[in-house]
Structure 1
Amino acid sequence: MPENTATGGATIELENLTKRYPGNPAPSVDNVSMEIGAGETVIFVGPSGCGKSTTLKMINRLIEPTSGRIRINGEDVTDIDPVKLRRKVGYAIQSAGLFPHMTVAQNIGLVPKMVGWSKARIRDRVEELLDLVGLDPGEFHGRYPRQLSGGQQQRVGVARALAADPPVLLMDEPFGAVDPITRDHLQDELIRLQHELHKTIVFVTHDFDEAIKLGDRIAVLRERSHIAQFDTPEAILTNPADDFVSGFVGAGAALKRLNLTRVRDVEITDYPTVTVDDPLQDIFDKLRRSGTNEILLLDKRGRPYKWLRRGDLMRAKGSLARAGTLVHDTVTREATLRDALEAVLTDNAGRVAVTGRRGEYTGVVDMETLMNSVHELLEADRLDAIEHQHDLEEAREELTHTEQEGHEGEAKA
């Protein structure tokens, strides 16, 4: 589908939404009301068993509400056919939930097929979506889920949820079952997708750092989905509503705010690069001219492959096969500064390569840039603390002054 015909987001209104299960004296979800803007990413975060997944599943009526209303773009969906509703609301879950007997293309094309799209339109949509989530259509079209890594399965799961171009995408801990590095990259991919698609996303997680990274707003939920605070990540980090929310924020709020700044927001510098096809002498000459102690070797697709130092080239003896240090981690422009800092510290090399959609090299972010950002955040926190202390002292002085005037008034009387 051309970009200009794609469906954007829709507003979601939850009004006094409640779920009671037979035999339970207390409701699992109690009287939740919330408004979510079109194109907004809202994260539900809270302790296990607080009702966040139940609340999410009531939006597409996988779980029927006991009482209350759900409106999507102003339309009350509480009384319409739940099967039709689910075809209009994308849904992605942990471990992708793909049908094992279907190919990747069949999994993605399932809902469009059910709603009556033509074979040609489904084929085009599958290709478009595989490309959108960073998987080569030619390579992955005919594969089965068992032939994919966990991260690839999750990408297909997201593609399937987006297949019929729904305005709303519900995600229930979709990245919870993959390793941390894959999880970071999937989060970055979701951020990039949302920049392009502007869907309304409601996302459940128990990981507060994930909530900070992904959310336009975060709903911190107590038991029975009571809303402790519903605000922007920055507001929750700097101004938690109470001790319960502070417990979720945890220690090191300034460092957590590194999750609010993206790699694209800081200086990405260039670095001398060569490719595996370059003659060894050309690589040596380029390293000598660069004035640096190392150079980045790219593979045949232009992706970061190895860091080569001068000594590595001296020992190469005509072959780069055993020379250099493999690039263990990269970040995209959508990654957070926290991701970049972790990658730099993991590689212990003072910089991390930045890559594009296909993993192609686009530049580097170095330790100095990251540390400058950390210092700016810490300084901002220090100034906020001073201002807060000043406000408290002024309030105390005003209270003391008011009390003194009261005593003087009593004495005169």
Structure 2
Amino acid sequence: MSETATATSTATATASTAKATTGATIELENLTKRYPGSPNPAVDEVNMEIKAGELVIFVGPSGCGKSTTLKMINRLIEPTSGRIRINGEDVTDMDPVKLRRKVGYAIQSSGLFPHMTVAQNIALVPKMVGWSKSKIKSRVEEMLDLVGLDPGEFRGRYPRQLSGGQQQRVGVARALAADPPVLLMDEPFGAVDPITRDHLQDELIRLQHELHKTIVFVTHDFDEAIKLGDRIAVLRERSHIAQFDTPEAILTNPADDFVSGFVGAGAALKRLNLTRVRDVEVRDYPTVTVDDPLQDIFNKLRSGNTNEILLLDKRGRPYKWLRRGDLMRARGSLARAGTLVHDTVTRDATLRDALEAVLTDNAGRVAVTGRRGAYEGVVDMETLMNSVHELLEADRLDAVEHQHELEEQRAEHTHREQEGADTGGEERA
């Protein structure tokens, strides 16, 4: 079979699997964990309902019990009391090993087995549940493609031969391999650098759009929670729920001072994490490839409306920004010409990610990429700043409206007090 046919077949299989995959409801009822010798429970009677296909974030201070609560869902930690229901089925008394095969689990630093290849790591759970060799092989290819890794390049590698970001992608692929309805993620991106972390977050958002799993995700980073979550559970000590709501509701109407402390200053700018690159204009930009003749590249630079073009590599990924005069100064060699593209964003990236990339690059634009880093367009500073101004103006109008509501309430309260005073005076008379 040709590479094109294989790619088409894999894409079709991935698409059909994505359509067939749905999440499951999760209900926690009075879930409690006590450790011997401790006067207080680590987790104290947590009650929560998570909808099928929802991405819910547990966020809270260190030691508040968020990871313990997560691990009780697949019973890596056994609850002391309370019930856990997945799709209505009480799993509290189920064989925990069987339960874990039905619940995907991804952790910080990926947790890959170092003596196994990438393919063997991903195949682990499907093999345990008795899938055929042909089905497992097909699923490994599908999962690698789904997380943006070329199966031909990565299936035979060992974890030590991967970057931190690649290891985390394989960890997610392994967690999804047996097609579980529920995926638990315990600070999975906490051990990678900020740029890689942003890209992994974007990848998770893209995967969730395709798969509609029920995902419970633990983090201590509130910005990450805003970016990823359909709903956020802000947890106090012993996993007491301070607020369980959408990111917009928590940003605009925190329940109390504890939640406000997590929101922090600059709530309007944090709302940049709620708007995606796909929601704003992604412009086309003049491009050339490394395979184009040098004269064609030179002519396009000289005749274009912009003073630079974007050079793409053999796979169509952003490689270098070329400006007029670069080829002349580099004596016609692409190896020495231009400026390397240091950062890109996907359409699932937030406007905050895009703004940080633009400011870091200091050139007023950032390239937008799709699956496996292929170029899709450019977002510029003007577009991003217009969006920031719109958010700030919306916040200003909300504040004015809120102030008017308070004034009306005060006026109504004063009017009632006056009526009461008048009525009392008449009765005395």
Is TM > 0.5 for Structure 1 vs Structure 2?
A: yes
Native 8 Å contact 1:6 1:165 kept in 2: no
How far has the Cα of 1:311 moved from its partner?
2.2
Q: Deviations over 1:204-237 (max 9, x none)?
A: 0000000000000000000000000000001100
Give per-residue Cα distances to partners, 1:335-387, cap 9 Å, x unaligned: 00000000000000000000111111110000000000000000000000001
Deviation sequence 1:252-272 (CA, Å, 0-9, x none):
111110000111111000000
SS in 1 for 2:23: coil
Deviation by residue 1:225-251 (Cα, 9 ceiling, x = unmatched): 000000000110011111100000001
With 264-273 and 318-327 compared, the bigger mean Cα shift is at 318-327
Contact 1:92 1:171 in 2 (8 A): yes
Contact 1:41/1:215, CA 8 A, preserved across alignment: yes
Residue in 1 aligned with 2:100?
86
Q: Offset of 1:318 from its aligned partner?
A: 2.1
Which of 113, 122, 126 is 1:99 aligned to? 113
Contact 1:258 1:337 in 2 (8 A): yes
1:279 Cα deviation from its structure 2 partner: 1.8
Measured in 1, the distance between the counterparts of 2:203 and 2:57 equals 17
SS in 2 for 1:213: helix
C-alpha deviation, 1:313, in angstroms: 2.5
* Counterpart for residue 9 of structure 2: none
TM-score (normalised: structure 1): 0.97
What do residues 153-212 of structure 1 show as CA deviations (whole Å, max 9, x unaligned)? 000100010011000000000000000000000000000000000000000000000000
Shift of 1:411: 6.0
| 1:40-97 alpha-carbon deviations (Å, 9 max, x no partner) | 0000000000000000000000111111111000000001111100000000000000
Question: Matches of 1:145 and 1:40 in 2, distance apart?
Answer: 30
> Whole-Å Cα distance in 1 between the matches of residues 399 and 302 of structure 2?
49
Distance 1:221 1:76 in 2: 24
CA distance in 1, matches of 2:125, 2:60: 31
- Secondary structure class of the residue paired with 1:230: strand
Gaps of 5+ in 1: none
Q: Post-superposition shift, 1:290?
A: 1.6
What's the offset of the Cα at 1:410? Answer: 7.3
The question of 1:321 aligning with 2:335 is answered: yes
Deviating above 4 A after TM superposition, structure 1's stretches of 4 or more consecutive aligned residues are none
SS at match of 2:218: strand
Deviation at 1:406, TM superposition (A): 1.7
- For residues 114 and 391 of structure 2, the distance between their equivalents in structure 1, rounded to whole angstroms, comes to 47
Give the drift of 1:288. Answer: 2.3
Identity of aligned residues (%): 91
Counterparts in 2 of 1:211 and 1:410: CA distance versus 1, 3 Å: farther
CA drift of 1:412 comes to 3.5
* Paired residue total: 409
Residue number in structure 2 paired with 1:384: 398
Q: Distance in 1 between matches of 2:204 and 2:57?
A: 13
Instruction: Name the SS of the counterpart of 1:358 in structure 2.
Output: helix
Contact preservation (8 Å) 1:329, 1:352:
yes
Distance 2:330 2:110 in 1: 44
Cα distance in structure 2, aligned partners of 1:43 and 1:119: 36
- Structure 1: how far apart are the matches of 2:355 and 2:188? 24
Which whole-Å CA distance do the structure 2 matches of 1:190 and 1:225 have between them?
Answer: 25
Gaps of 5+ in 2: 1-18
Q: Distance in 2 between matches of 1:181 and 1:318?
A: 32
Whether the 8 Å CA contact 1:305–1:326 is kept in 2: the answer is yes
- SS of residue in 2 equivalent to 1:122: helix
- Decide whether the 8 Å contact of 1:52 with 1:221 is kept in 2: yes
CA distance in 2, matches of 1:157, 1:71: 25
Q: In structure 2, how many angstroms separate the alpha carbons of the residues matched to 1:334 and 1:103? A: 30
Select 2:160's aligned residue among 146, 149, 162.
Answer: 146
